[in-house]
Amino acid sequence: MVLKIFFPQCCNRADSGLLVGRWVPGFDSVVVLAVIHYPFIPGQVKKYLSEMQSAIQLELTVLGSWSMPKDGQEGMDSFLKDLSTIFPQGRWLQLSRELGKRGFACQVIGRDAAVPPRGQPKEGGDDEKEKVIFIHYDQRKVMLSHLHPAHGQEPAAEGVSELRLVFQTVAQSQPLFFLDKYDDGPIKLTHWQSEGREASILVELIKQASVPMCLVLTWLLSLWTQLRSIRVLNMWPVRFVSSKLSTCVQLSHRTEHLQTISSPRRAQQHADFMRKANIFVSFLVDIALGLLLISWLYRENRIGRLANTLVPVADVSVHTLPPALSKKPVCLCVLYSARDIVLHVAKELQELLQWLMGAPAGLKMNRALDQVLGRFFLYHIHLWISYIHLLSPFIEMILWYVGLSACLGLTFALSVVSDIVALLTFHIYCFYVYGARIYCLKIYGLSSLWRLFRGKKWNVLRQRVDSCSYDLDQLFIGTLLFTILLFLLPTTALYYLVFTLLRLGVVLLQGFIHLMIDIINSFPLFAGGLRLFRPYRLAEGVKFKVLCEEPGMSLHLMMEINPLKLSTAVQQYRIPTYSCYPKDSWAALCKKLFVGDLIYPWTPLHKGSKED
Amino acid sequence: MSEEKFTDINGKPISLECRSHSSFCREFVVSAPKVSLRAVMVCTCAVWLSAYAAFFVTKNTAVLSSAIVTTLVGMMVHIHLIKIDHERLLIVGSLGVQVSSCFASGRESATFIEMSSIKDIVINEAIHMQRVIYYLCILLKEPSDPNGVSGVVPLFQSSKPRLNCLVKIYKSCQEILGQC
Amino acid sequence: MGQRKRPGARGSLTSATPGRIALPARKSAKHNVCMVSDFFYPNMGGVESHIYQLSQCLIEKGHKVIVVTHAYGNRKGIRYLSSGLKVYYLPLQVMYNQSTVTTCFHSLPLLRCIFVRERITVVHAHSSFSAMAHDSLFHAKAMGLNTVFTDHSLFGFADVSSVLTNKLLTISLCDTNHIICVSYTSKENTVLRAALDPEIVSVIPNAVDPGDFTPDPSKRDDGKITIVVVSRLVYRKGIDLLGGIIPELCLKYPDLHFLIGGEGPKRIVLEEVREKYQLHDRVRLLGALEHKDVRNVLVQGHIFLNTSLTEAFCMAIVEGASCGLQVVSTRVGGIPEVLPEDLITLCEPTVGSLCEGLELVIGRQRAGTAPPPAAVHSRVRTLYTWRNVAERTEKVYDRVATAAVLPLDQRLRRLRARCGPVAGSIFALMAVLDFLFLLLLRWLVPDSLIDVAVDATGPNGLWTQTWKG
């Protein structure tokens, strides 16, 4: 076997003394954590170590001796060997540096070996002597970094890994490193030391302030949740509507986030801490973006220009605009023009229907059915327009206040926009549903009559197609109906096609907005920043470099931290969100469209009911 | 330390360098040929000549500047992300195996696999780009089942040495794996 | 009924069968054989087990054998089966019925690489339904390798699809060195379809592993009579006939039971019959069977029924007889040659004729005049063995190895002469293009750059060496 010694870089030039560290259980390797310098009293060292041991819950031992030759110090050899009798160990390491050489020499003395082997262990190279690898590591980086499981496995499945144990040992023995070089004490240690904490006053103040802040937040949140749990709000129609409105969904999502942040418990696990930090940073960024949007919206010149560009689009119903356009607050102009766009869309739809009722694209339709469908839809549009007119005095006010929600964050503003789009295109949705229902019925009827044609029928109990003998009347009626349905299909299909395309446009727009919300909600900004500015904090693994190869010396490796890939970091620390956009594959979507199933921008109902 | 000439599966010469740091630590470096000046010249000339041709037709100087930008960006992307200069396999007995590849720009990406999760290093056959080739790979142990293989890490993916080179590396690796 | 056996023709064909001709006594050289077919494990069927068993026996005889097929789902790349049989699962697109798409060219780079790195001397293609087999023959001829083709199925001559397939078969086989058929009927059929010289067509029947199919009368329930059917439930196997037989016989014999193993699109026919006549307790549908379970199903019955509409060589009836069952089958294709006449009852492929035959056998079973299972098994056991098949195939290889492969100009001339002016010219052009493509590949990746594969089987095989050592 090969003995592996993990040696901190900072101890390279330490004065002679004792090595303190830990044997890694289960592996033939040892982690050196610090060097205790001469002179010391063995009793004090033992006491110090036992104190430390209880503080960090790891088995710390004196591993061996370290000798750094200096001018004038000779004849340490016998003294070092005697030390091993003071600190009894299974194996006693005796590391030494020589003046001209860069590498170390190492001697391992077994406890039961009566006569310790003489000379350099490398020279013999025979089997009895143990081979040694020195692995140098940067104590600070290893202590701060978090080793991620390789290939996305969960750590439990990974099994016991040597490197993981080494990282754990160094990270847990943090209290050992608090002892300062300049402290006056009975023992002197060499290990990694922080270079002081200049900015720590600010940090401490924030830390102090954060506790009451969290308490206040929790209290507010509990009020809010109580408000939400009022009975009236949990009745069926309210709950159904609120589960479909993206603003409400976003609101509950943010509440959850705030609850996570404001929980007074300290984050124990690395993942918990990262989650909190990610949510906090993304929350701050969201609000900052929202405020930016508001400040942009309320700057007059810009919004006036926007209104001017929007008004000509709505010139169909310009006459309905109030004459005192310029005197009103400018943001209201936007709302006016938005309403006009709605009316304009309705007008366009009317024209589209007129076109469909004629001979659209030169297609010859079934005139009677065409007229019926067209009138039906026209009447619907008429209803819609009158509804908008009725609503127009109030809609401005509602929208104006709703617009202020942007100060809660950009995501809120976007969700409100998405909801407004959904509400204002309600007639398109209705048309789509009617068209799809009629089309779906037709397809269903045709498919079952086609089976009748072939002497088959659908067996509901067994979920399969059986053969069946029909009598003559059934066949006659079935054939008649089949013909009628078949010849009426193109007309319905055309209406369905046109309204589906309109609906798809709306769904795409909403999907785009939801995608943006989702990205803002879920992007782990903190982890990304950490990866960019402190790459060693998120370690994917390690890499080794061969340091020096002097003949006759042990192998020296340098252990460096391999940072996580940016894409992996983003993927791993993604904040889980509700996903609003459908997860259907393209083929499934096409099939749904062809059969005439309804498509929604949100996830299908059964998923929502599962959560309930 | 020794260096030998081999070829990759396409007949291009590659060099294999074996460094023995100690009896249980070996390093294998397979270097692909450097970017040849001729290839760079040909690519650059092709892009610029076509840009000049487009310029004659359109009389628009933006074509020329975009050609220059394209060449520069293309070259940078090529040496930083695509062209792998050499691949390195460092095997340390009882510690693990480190696989790293060095790009022409000097960027290095490395992964270290611990010995406890390595089952074996073997030569395997695979179908690759309308050919059947041999490659060297590390078999990873299934943590729950000691006989199972949970994954395969192919080695020397970009240089793709031929069988004789692989056999040499394989034997050397097996010596170290057999020791511990 | 052009496929029907004529006793007179049989004798004349037997004497002309080159597989039986005594070859020079010199010790045959070892061959590097490449079996190519679209059909191989994990797909189940007659061709698959034929290739596998033949390969195993050839490996035992010291030849090097590899199998090339297309990827099945996640099973792609290179695998080793027992005793070092190397299988290449090539990533080619599957088109229909597990057969790959053929463009005549796109498989050349991979196949050439395999032929070169494995130092193949004989390419043995299986099944005329397999596009990959035809492709490999085409490429092997371009590369100057010896080719053998085994035809496992029968075709008609009348309908459009048969005419087209027959034309393709003609083209594919006109310059193949040797053709193997599984029965004399199949040979006759192939010779007629592909316009071949009967001299180069051998008959080597399929075989069953007699050890796997042993009778066990204790498993059967003698209080009732059980009819076993084991086949894929498809049109070709005559499942519609079976659907007609079941109600008729069940009405007549209240102690009659049916045990049906297999899966397929025609399963619905049987289910409907079962429901219509309330036969749930008497007709058992077992679904898809694994090969190892087939014997356990067979020994539960008294009578084995085969209703195939077309069959080149029916392995299922041999398996049934080997398990000691009375066999009733339709008289189609090569079936009459398979078993001696006293072991099988042949009927016309109609419901009435099959019912008559079954009633006859049921009567015999009732009267106790049926031969005992052990006696039937001992007769069938020596009839068809894989070792025999491998020996005969080896002789074909020896003969083929001495034959010269036609150079390109002669191939072109033969294509033009045999396959008609239009198709012949088109395929001559294809052959030329294929050859040019091969030259291009040889220029891009010379043979010297392709690493020679380490043999698992054959004279230098690593697996065989470790066995000996």
**C201 and C248 share one domain:** no
Q: What is the pLDDT of residue A124?
A: 36
Bond preceding residue C372 cis, omega within 30 of 0: no
For residue A606, the 8-state DSSP code is: H
**A607 and A463 share one domain:** yes
Tokens matching residue C41: 């494990």
Residues of B within 8 A of C88 (CB-CB) are 127, 132
Domain that holds residue A330: 302-399
Q: How far is CA A608 from the centre of its chain?
A: 21
Long-range contact set of residues B3-10: C-beta below 8 Å, sequence gap at least 24:
B4/B168, B6/B161, B6/B162, B6/B164, B6/B165, B7/B161, B7/B162, B7/C449, B8/B32, B8/B159, B8/B160, B8/B161, B8/B162, B9/B131, B9/B133, B9/B160, B9/B161, B9/B162, B9/C449, B9/C451, B10/B160, B10/C445, B10/C449
Average pLDDT, chain A: 75
- pLDDT, tens digit, for every residue of C274-296? 988 999 899 999 988 888 888 89
The span from the first CA to the last CA of chain B, in angstroms, equals 23
Q: Could you tell me if residue A529 is inside a domain?
A: no
- pLDDT, tens digit, for every residue of A179-196? 666 666 677 777 777 666
Q: Residue C27: is its pLDDT beyond 70?
A: no
**C265 and C329 share one domain:** yes
Q: How far apart are CA A245 and CA A249, in angstroms?
A: 7
Average pLDDT over every residue of A460-481: 86
Residues of A within 8 A of C268 (CB-CB) are 464-466
Percentage helix, strand, coil for chain C under 3-state DSSP, each rounded to 5: 50, 15, 35
Q: Which of C84, C81, C170 is nearest to C128 (CA)?
A: C170
**A306 and A290 share one domain:** no
Q: Could you tell me if residue C1 is inside a domain?
A: no
A71 contacts A84 by C-beta, under 8 angstroms: no
Residues of B within 8 A of C449 (CB-CB) are 7, 9-11, 162
Q: For a pLDDT cut of 70, what percent of chain B falls above it?
A: 98
What stretches of C272-362 adopt beta strand conformation (E)?
283-287, 303-306, 326-330, 344-347
Lowest mean pLDDT among A100-109, A129-138, A272-281, A508-517: A100-109
Average pLDDT, chain B: 88
Q: What is the pLDDT of residue C1?
A: 36
B25/A contact by beta carbon, under 8 A: yes
A546 with B95: Cβ contact below 8 A: no
- pLDDT, tens digit, for every residue of C296-323? 999 999 999 999 998 888 888 988 999 9
A463/C contact by beta carbon, under 8 A: no
**A311 and A436 share one domain:** no
**A392 and A272 share one domain:** no
**C189 and C89 share one domain:** yes
* Higher per-residue pLDDT: C336 or A467: C336
pLDDT band for position C435 (50/70/90)?
Answer: very high
B92/A contact by beta carbon, under 8 A: yes
Q: What is the pLDDT of residue C362?
A: 92
Residues of B within 8 A of C80 (CB-CB) are none
- pLDDT, tens digit, for every residue of A364-413? 778 888 888 888 888 888 887 787 777 766 766 666 676 677 788 888 88
Q: How far apart are CA C322 and CA C298, in angstroms?
A: 10
**C459 and C401 share one domain:** yes
- Token look-up 């160990």 returns A89
- pTM of the shown model: 0.78
B143 with A159: Cβ contact below 8 A: yes
The one-letter amino acid at B108? E
pLDDT band for position C397 (50/70/90)?
Answer: very high
**A445 and A313 share one domain:** no
Shortest distance between the Cα of A464 and any Cα of chain C, in A, equals 9
Q: Could you tell me if residue A543 is inside a domain?
A: no
Q: How far is CA A162 from the centre of its chain?
A: 29
B21 with A2: Cβ contact below 8 A: no
C453 with B125: Cβ contact below 8 A: yes
B93/A contact by beta carbon, under 8 A: yes
Q: Residue A595: is its pLDDT beyond 90?
A: no
Q: What is the pLDDT of residue B36?
A: 82
Q: For a pLDDT cut of 90, what percent of chain A falls above it?
A: 4
Q: What is the pLDDT of residue C217?
A: 84
The residues facing A107 across adjacent strands are A94
A466/C contact by beta carbon, under 8 A: yes
Q: What is the pLDDT of residue A326?
A: 41
Q: Where among A294, A313, A341 does a domain terminate?
A: A294
A454, A466, A468: which to substitute to probe chain C, counting the most C Cβ within 10 Å? A466
HSE-CB for B10 with a 13 A CA cutoff: 10
Residues of C within 8 A of A466 (CB-CB) are 268, 272
Q: Could you tell me if residue A556 is inside a domain?
A: no
Q: Which of C34, C28, C26 is nearest to C457 (CA)?
A: C34
**A123 and A156 share one domain:** yes
How many domains does chain A divide into?
A: 4
pLDDT band for position C405 (50/70/90)?
Answer: confident
Average pLDDT, chain C: 85
Residue of chain C whose Cα is closest to the Cα of B164: C451
A543 with B112: Cβ contact below 8 A: yes
Tokens matching residue C3: 């496929």
**C146 and C295 share one domain:** no
Average pLDDT over every residue of B154-162: 90
The interaxial angle of helices C421-444 and C131-143, nearest 10 deg, is 70
Q: What is the pLDDT of residue A325?
A: 40
How many domains does chain C divide into?
A: 2
Q: What is the pLDDT of residue A128?
A: 42
Shortest distance between the Cα of B60 and any Cα of chain A, in A, equals 33
Instruction: Please report, for chain C, how many H helices and E strands are present, in that order.
Output: 17, 16
Residues of C within 8 A of A464 (CB-CB) are 268
Taking the domains of chain B in order of start, what are their residue ranges?
2-33+87-179, 37-81
Residues of C within 8 A of B127 (CB-CB) are 76-78, 88, 90-91, 110
Lowest mean pLDDT among A514-518, C207-211, C282-286, C391-395: C207-211
Q: Could you tell me if residue C2 is inside a domain?
A: no
B53/A contact by beta carbon, under 8 A: no
Q: What is the pLDDT of residue B114?
A: 86
**A174 and A36 share one domain:** yes
pLDDT band for position A91 (50/70/90)?
Answer: confident
A154, A162, A565: which to substitute to probe chain B, counting the most B Cβ within 10 Å? A162
Q: Which of C69, C60, C79, C78 is nearest to C35 (CA)?
A: C69
Residues of C within 8 A of B134 (CB-CB) are 451
C111/B contact by beta carbon, under 8 A: no
Residues of C within 8 A of A457 (CB-CB) are none
- Token look-up 């037989």 returns C245
Q: What is the pLDDT of residue C175?
A: 86
- pLDDT, tens digit, for every residue of B71-112? 999 989 988 888 888 999 999 888 889 999 999 888 888 888
Largest CA distance in chain C: 75
C109 contacts C441 by C-beta, under 8 angstroms: yes
Q: What is the pLDDT of residue B73?
A: 93
C109 with B130: Cβ contact below 8 A: yes
Shortest distance between the Cα of C33 and any Cα of chain A, in A, equals 42
Residues of A within 8 A of B22 (CB-CB) are 131, 554-555
Q: How far apart are CA C348 and CA C307, in angstroms?
A: 10
- pLDDT, tens digit, for every residue of C130-147? 889 999 999 999 999 999
pLDDT band for position A198 (50/70/90)?
Answer: low
Q: What is the pLDDT of residue A195?
A: 64
- pLDDT, tens digit, for every residue of A334-349? 555 555 666 677 778 7
Average pLDDT over every residue of B129-150: 86
- pLDDT, tens digit, for every residue of C163-202? 888 888 888 888 899 999 988 988 988 898 888 888 899 9
**C375 and C413 share one domain:** no
Long-range contact set of residues A499-502: C-beta below 8 Å, sequence gap at least 24:
A499/A428, A499/A431, A499/A432, A499/A434, A499/A435, A499/A436, A500/A432, A500/A435, A500/A436, A500/A593, A502/A428, A502/A431, A502/A432
Q: Residue A150: is its pLDDT beyond 80?
A: no
Q: Where among C348, C381, C414 does a domain terminate?
A: C381
- Token look-up 């989702």 returns A518
Domain that holds residue C68: 7-17+29-207+388-464
Shortest distance between the Cα of A247 and any Cα of chain C, in A, equals 45
pLDDT band for position B50 (50/70/90)?
Answer: very high
**C234 and C280 share one domain:** yes
* CATH number of the CATH domain containing C175: 3.40.50.2000
pLDDT band for position C353 (50/70/90)?
Answer: very high
A336 contacts A321 by C-beta, under 8 angstroms: yes
Q: Could you tell me if residue C345 is inside a domain?
A: yes
The span from the first CA to the last CA of chain C, in angstroms, equals 56
Compute the count of residue pairs across chains B and C with CB atoms less than 8 Å apart: 41
**A140 and A281 share one domain:** no
pLDDT band for position A549 (50/70/90)?
Answer: low
Shortest distance between the Cα of B91 and any Cα of chain A, in A, equals 10
For residue A316, the 8-state DSSP code is: G
**C88 and C202 share one domain:** yes
